[in-house]
Structure 1
Amino acid sequence: MECAGKGRGTRCMGSARRRCGRCGAVAYCSVSHQMSHWNEHKEECERLEQQMKRADVLNDFPFTFSQEATATSQVCEKQGSRCSFLSKRGIHQLGMWMHECCCTHSEESSSSLASFDSSRLLDDGWNLSGDLCPCHDPISPISECVSSWLDYYEWRCIPLHSPVALLLHWPLTIYHAAHIAGVWSSTVETRKLCVHYLGPEKELLQLAAFGELLALFPGVQIHIEFIGPAIPRQRDGEKISLCSYAHCLDADCICNFSSENLSQIANTGFVSSFSNFSKRWNCCLS
Structure 2
Amino acid sequence: MAFRRPEVQFECDCAGEAHIMRIEIGKMARDPSYKTKSKTHVCFHCSNIIRHARRCGGCDVVIYCSVECSRAAWKDYLNADGQIMDGHKRMCAIVKNQMLKFPDYAELATQFSWTIKIGKGYYADFALASKGLYGCGPSFGWWTEPSCVARDTRTLYLHRETPYTEKQGWKLPDEEMPWLEFDPSKGKVPPQRIVDFEDSWTSYYEWRGLPMSSPAAFRLHWPLTIYRILRELGIKPGTVDNRKTIKIHLVGPENRKELAILPVFGELALLFPYSDLRMTLISEETFLTVSTARRRSLARQPFAYKYTAPESIGGGSIHITLDSQNRVYAPFGYGEIPDVIIGLHAGLTNPEWIPVIHGSIRLDIPFAVTEYVETCMSVNDDALIKTVLPEGLRALTEHAPTETEAIARFEQAMLIPERKRIFNTFMCPGLHWPQRSLLPYAHNSWIYIVHTKTST
TM range (shorter): 0.5 to 0.7
TM-score w.r.t. the length of structure 1 is 0.59
Q: Does the CA contact (< 8 Å) of 2:140 and 2:169 recur in 1?
A: yes
Question: What residue is the counterpart of 1:173 in the other structure?
Answer: 225
> Structure 2: how far apart are the matches of 1:269 and 1:204?
19
**Residues 1:115 and 2:160 aligned together:** yes
- CA-to-aligned-CA distance 1:54-93 (integer Å, 9 cap, x gap): 212322235997338x99xxxxxx97x577334279x995
> Structure 2: how far apart are the matches of 1:2 and 1:122?
36
- CA-to-aligned-CA distance 1:157-185 (integer Å, 9 cap, x gap): 54444221221122123223323444348
Q: Does the CA contact (< 8 Å) of 2:277 and 2:317 recur in 1?
A: yes
TM-score w.r.t. the length of structure 2 is 0.41
- CA-to-aligned-CA distance 1:202-261 (integer Å, 9 cap, x gap): 5444232112113322332211112322233634460352024xxxxxxxxxxxxxxxxx
**Residues 1:55 and 2:102 aligned together:** yes
- CA-to-aligned-CA distance 1:114-151 (integer Å, 9 cap, x gap): 33335x567855332344233332656344x51x5455
Q: Does the CA contact (< 8 Å) of 1:225 and 1:275 recur in 2?
A: yes
Structure 1 residues 120-129 or 193-202, which shifts more?
120-129
Question: What residue is the counterpart of 1:243 in the other structure?
Answer: 308
Question: What residue is the counterpart of 1:196 in the other structure?
Answer: 249
Note the 1:1-286 alignment, pairs <5 A. 16=54, 19-20=57-58, 25-26=61-62, 39=75, 40-59=87-106, 60-61=108-109, 62=112, 66-67=116-117, 81=126, 84-87=129-132, 94=139, 96-100=141-145, 106-109=151-154, 112-118=157-163, 120=164, 126-135=170-179, 136-137=190-191, 139=193, 141-143=195-197, 145-146=198-199, 148-150=200-202, 152-153=204-205, 155-184=207-236, 191-198=244-251, 199-202=253-256, 203-227=258-282, 228-229=286-287, 230-231=289-290, 232=293, 234=295, 235-236=299-300, 238-239=302-303, 240-244=305-309, 267-277=315-325
Q: Structure 1: where are the runs of 5+ without partners?
A: 8-13, 72-77, 245-261, 280-286
Q: Structure 2: where are the runs of 5+ without partners?
A: 1-39, 47-51, 76-86, 180-189, 328-456
> Structure 1: how far apart are the matches of 2:254 and 2:160?
16
Q: 1:263 to 1:94 in 2, by over 3 A?
A: farther
Q: Percent identity?
A: 23
Q: 1:46 to 1:178 in 2, by over 3 A?
A: farther
Q: 1:277 to 1:201 in 2, by over 3 A?
A: farther
**CA RMSD across the alignment:** 5.0
> Structure 2: how far apart are the matches of 1:149 and 1:19?
36
> Structure 2: how far apart are the matches of 1:55 and 1:164?
23
Q: What amino acid is the match of 2:279?
A: I
